[in-house]
Structure 1
Amino acid sequence: MISWVLSNHWYTCYNIDMYIRTTVRKNKNGTQTCYVQLAHNTWNPETRRSEVQVLYNFGRAENVDRAGLERLARSICRYLGPDELLRFEARRDYGTEFGFESSKPFGGAWVLQGLWKHLGVDRILTQLLKERKFQSPVERTIFALVANRALAPMSKRAVEEWVAQDVYIPDLPEIPLHHLYRALDFLLEAEESLQYQVFCQVSHLFNLEVDLLYFDTTSTYFEIETEDDEGLRRKGHSKDSRPDLPQAVIGLAVTRDGIPVRCWVWPGNTADMSVVQEVKKDLVGWKLGRVITVLDRGMASEENLRYLQRAGGHYIAGERMRAGKNTVEKALSHPGRFKTVRDNLEVKEIVIGDGEARTRYVLVRNPEEAEWDKAKREETLDKLKLELARIGELNGAPHTKAVCSIIAHPTYGRYLKTDKRGQPRIDKDKIKAEERLDGKYLLRTSDDTLAPEDVALGYKQLLQVEDAFRTLKSTLELRPDHPSGGTRHRLEDRIRAHVLLCWLALLLVRIAENQTGQTWRTIRAHLQRMHVGEFQFPTARVHQRTETEPDQHQLFKALKIPQPPKILNITTSDCRIT
């Protein structure tokens, strides 16, 4: 057994055969010197007795670093788990007159609640709830659902058990399942006002630059075979490579700092280009002032671009370089030198046409990507040559299935042509045309005041949306019928409410990442080591958290969230003290 004597108290941590002991020696002058040692007992088979073996001498008792010994004890208990750490700290604080009941993770919920309150989401929901006469704690319930998505995504049914047994959320010891669904219904009713008010709070608190918004869409599929006749679950172009399953389309508008300011949900057969006008209309309604919308190539139709310029709006849009468009060909062949800017980018400004018909382009080149494109093409051509050798010469025979397949191949077909006999050949002119595009992308903008560098870097930040989608799908498990990510939602309202929960969770996660410079996965791992233990005393029940670790202290400091009190609450037979 290992026992520690610190500050005149004995602590038993774990059942192993090491312990701290003290020995006293008498000096010649009659004084005594006390020494502290780490020892354990060994069995001597010859004497058939247990003997003490000293493993380490800490030195004279008055010189021993007691704080260091306590840190060592806490480190051992932390390795053994939060329960042992809580037992150790409770024995240090209270002696031994208590019963340890259980412990729950607490740090993650505490930080999320701190961000939740700092953003004023609790106040916004409370204000929106004033006209409703709910008996259940709707704001606390919505927070629990959002915290679950960020900390341990699971089904709505499982959240009921998670709140009761697997997490400590202040002022929410439990939550019945019907309260969860009632809160989801309210969340959807308050969608428009909630998103707008949260955006206003976030942009004010963090001084966000909202003149440049990035918009993109993704899809999330459902594990069902039959699509809805009407509603969200419809088959369409799948970005998850599951065209066989019904899906919904999710839209996200993100600031240049990666903060999601609004989300949308559309039926799964909705084309990207058809949603731009709705997005523009919704954002203009927020009176954001000068807004430059950044769009990917898939949404840059002429109709959409004209619509974005209404009411003084502007756009930065990617252009398809292989579409054969006349102005694009002129831009790609336009003479002039590239100018090097930051982030390993080179830019060249190009204006095609005159007067109202003029079009402003910015051609961007990334030297590193150019090398990668070249190496990838050479690898593809080597494989293509092998495929052509396998097919062999047709000698005027009809096309085989293999020939049709390789000509129609999305990658190989880019470098092929067929001769008069229908024989597939590598086209050197097509290879040269592809070489011209290595590491380049072409942007089109309606704003003449933006510097070419800002146009290039602005479009590059569209990756923030893609990163947000990755977080939604992996960390927050967006898919509504994911086995651990949500109930198998069938009702359209439930699906929309589920996406709103994911948006709120992503908002908190992104703010935490921006302020700490760490990934949410790392932040969550550090915070979830802080537990709250429940202890039963003869006259009271106490909830006490573990000590703050250095990593946790740094996170609290970076996020400007105060450390939680050591004692969360005390319940006596007469009252409850928090």
Structure 2
Amino acid sequence: MYLRKTQRRNKDGSAVRYVQLANNRRVDGQTQAEVLVNLGREDRLDLDALRRLVASINRYLGEDDDVTAPLGTQAGPLQVESSRPIGTIWLLDQLWKLLGIDTALARHLDGRRFRTDVERVLFALVANRAVAPGSKLAAGEWATRDVVIPGLPELDGNNQALRAMDLLIEGDATGAVQETVFFAAAHLLNLEVDLIFFDTTSTYFERDGEDEESDEALRRFGHSKDHRKDLPQIVIGLAVTREGIPVRCWVWPGNTSDTTVITQVKDDLRTWRLGRVVTVADSGFSSEANLAYLTRAGGHYITGVKMRETSKKADAALARQGRYQEVRDNLRVKEVRLDGDPGRRWVVCHNPAEAARDAERREQQLTAISDELERIAQARTADAKKAKDKAAKTGKRPVKPNDAVHRKAECALRDHPSLGRWLKQHPTTARLSIDRAKVAAESRLDGKYLLATSDPDLSAEDVALGYKNLLEAERSFRTMKSTLYLRPVFHRLDERIRAHVLLCWLALLLIRVAERRTGTTWRTIRNELGRIHQVTLAGPAGRLQQTTRITDTQARLFKDCGVPMPPKMSGIQTTE
């Protein structure tokens, strides 16, 4: 059924329009319009009666009445005061409550009363990282003027944000809040926590020097994974599940070595009583002391092993003969057990496609080296011939040509970051040549990587695929640095640096939960729900907030996340 208009013309040429309620039906295979009700001339319609009819139909369908009509009556029209996005913030807020983060923070604050709702301020800071990351001062203006933060009318300046950050990490709150939130997420998403993936990264500060007030200060120079060795930094550790859900984060001084942090990670997670846990880490954490510590209290590990460093056990595992087992099109595995090492299993993994790429890349580099060595040799020969010809013309003894230019070219080739590894320098002549023994040794490692595990139950296939999931930790770091703008950090106090990382961790958690429940990237979710606005309308009879129409795609995102949609009407205020 639908409303349609018809018209007729009077003798004087004027048009008269009529409104009808019609319905289409098929007669003899053709669609014909059937008039159900003649509502009368368009210029004489009772519009209030039509509105009451629409309201009655809405009530029957279970939808709210349109309450904007009484506010803009004959006394004057409605005016739009503001329009701000609410969709993405609403989703994050509902997930925030669903994971019990608000409850965990309330428990941490221990019933203390503040002039500002600290929990709402912290949510605004987390939402700002996920939607439009900026400084804490910019986050206050963003939360007050640019978006709708439920329960937070405004965020007054920078002081409230910094005070909330101080309260977030007060005492032992960091570990307690993370533990409560993680177990809520594990229960909500039915997460598997038998494998915990751990990795570290670094992030820098825009300042010239490191902190000198204390030896335990966070901002220190160290090995930068951001390729900014000129700036002080901190080291961040992150543990995630195989689904990419963050478990916990840590912050250490920028000069901290990877081999020194695994004991703290093990101790902190052990207090959570996760049950049977296999820690997955890369080769940077595979010292014998760390591996022994990970096996305490029934724990186990899966770790990468450095193949190019001197290790008799690694060499023995790679040299052991055996048949590979096909796991996937691009992965074969072979399990090896060594005598004298009964508590450890070795898994050799081979990727045929990667082996072909390694061989092709190496051949290209060797060709470039050969061409450069040939060019240098020809240049030397040409200089020698030129000197000899000049001596023959002048009748003088030939002068030995200056070899400094050619030696400089050889030094540049030897010190090249990718080509120099294939060269060796002869002790007598100091000439360069390709190290064929190094080439043969590297060719045996094409497409291979070596794993070690202490778990006696996991199959070689599960070990290999479990280690590949370590990419989830690396993906989380990329999200924190790009989407959440973790870097550069502009805080000075150590406590606020830790709070900044924890805010990014909470934002990452909300993002991963939304992605997992919807099967959609956060960028798509953010852009789609960002089109939902809350419009503030004001009229002579009062004011209210109305949410723009929600599309089927947007409704599906809310449904997949298991949260309700924003209300159509809210904040109704009348002048009576």
1:277 aligns with 2:257: no
> How big is each residue's C-alpha offset from its partner over 1:157-177, in whole Å with a ceiling of 9 and x where there is no partner?
011111111001111110113
Whether 1:456 and 2:464 are equivalent positions in the alignment is yes
Offset of residue 264 of structure 1: 0.5
Q: Work out the CA distance in 2 between the residues paired with 1:138 and 1:7.
A: 52
1:489 corresponds to 2:469: no
For 2:178, the equivalent position in structure 1 comes to 195
- Cα distance in 1 for residues equivalent to 2:151 and 2:6: 46
Q: Secondary structure at the match of 1:383?
A: helix
For residues 385-440 of structure 1, give each alpha carbon's deviation from its aligned partner in whole angstroms, at most 9, with x where no partner exists. 33333443779968834323432434212222223422111223322222221211
Is contact 1:222-1:245 (8 Å) kept?
Answer: yes
Structure 1 residues 23 and 123: CA distance shift in structure 2, 3 A: same
Would you say 1:466 and 2:452 are equivalent positions? no
Which structure has more relative contact order (CA 8 Å, sep 6+)? It is: 2
User: Equivalent residue for 1:300?
Assistant: 286
Instruction: Please tell me the residue identity of whatever aligns with 2:294.
Output: L
- Structure 1: state its 5+ residue gaps: 1-5, 9-20, 27-31, 37-58, 64-87, 482-487
Shift of 1:530: 0.4
* Aligned-residue offset at 1:90: 6.8
Spell out the pairing of 1:229-248 with structure 2 (5 A cutoff). Answer: 229=212, 230=214, 231-248=217-234
Which residue does 2:188 correspond to in 1? 205
2:173 maps to 1:171: no
Query: Which residues of 2 match residues 239-388 of structure 1 at below 5 A?
Result: 239-342=225-328, 344-354=330-340, 356=342, 359-388=344-373
CA deviation after TM superposition for structure 1 residue 565, in Å: 1.0
Q: Structure 1 residues 310 and 160 mapped into 2: Cα distance closer, same or farther (>3 Å)? A: same
Where does the alignment leave 5 or more consecutive residues of structure 2 unmatched?
11-15, 21-31, 37-65, 382-401
Counterpart residue number, 1:532: 534
Tell me, yes or no, if the aligned pair for 1:25 and 1:34 is still in contact at 8 Å.
no
Q: Secondary structure at the match of 1:116?
A: helix
Which TM-score applies when normalising by structure 2? 0.81
Structure 2 Cα separation of the partners of residues 102 and 22 of structure 1 = 39
Contact kept, 8 Å, 1:89 with 1:546, in 2: the verdict is no
When residues 570 and 412 of structure 1 are mapped into structure 2, their CA distance, relative to the original with a 3 A threshold, is: same
Task: Note the C-alpha offset of 1:448.
Answer: 1.5
> Contact (CA 8 Å) 2:71, 2:538: kept in 1 or not?
no
Q: Deviations over 1:174-231 (max 9, x none)?
A: 0113221111111111212101111121112222111110100000011101111231
2:134 pairs with 154, 159, 171, which one? 154
SS at match of 2:358: helix
Percent identical residues: 52
Whole-angstrom CA distance in 2 between matches of 1:500 and 1:453: 35
Residue of structure 2 in register with 1:407 after alignment: 414
Shift of 1:24: 3.8
In the alignment, which residue of structure 1 is the partner of 2:398? none
Q: Paired residue for 1:181, among 162, 165, 169?
A: 162
Question: Structure 1 pair 436/220, CA: closer, same or farther in 2 (3 Å)?
Answer: same
Aligned length: 501
Q: What CA deviation, in whole Å up to 9, does each residue of 1:62-119 have, x standing for no partner?
A: 79xxxxxxxxxxxxxxxxxxxxxxxx99789968820011100110001001111110
Residue in structure 1 matching 2:555, options 553, 556, 574:
553
Cα pair 1:480 1:498 within 8 Å, conserved:
no
Structure 2 partner of 1:48: none
Report the AA paired with residue 207 of structure 2: I
In terms of Rg, which structure is larger? 2
Partner of 1:127: 107
Q: Distance in 2 between matches of 1:374 and 1:173?
A: 62
Please name the residue that 1:108 is paired with: 88
Structure 1 residue 518 and structure 2 residue 499: aligned? no
Q: Corresponding residue for 2:500?
A: 498
Provide the TM-score with structure 1 as the length reference.
0.81
**SS class of match (2:169):** helix
Cα separation, 2, equivalents of 1:539 and 1:564: 24
On the 8 A contact 1:556/1:562 being kept in 2, the answer is yes
Tell me, in whole angstroms, the C-alpha distance in 2 between the residues paired with 1:446 and 1:537: 71
State how far apart, in whole Å, the 2-side matches of 1:343 and 1:124 are.
46
* Secondary structure of residue in 1 paired with 2:261: helix
Q: What amino acid is the match of 2:494?
A: E
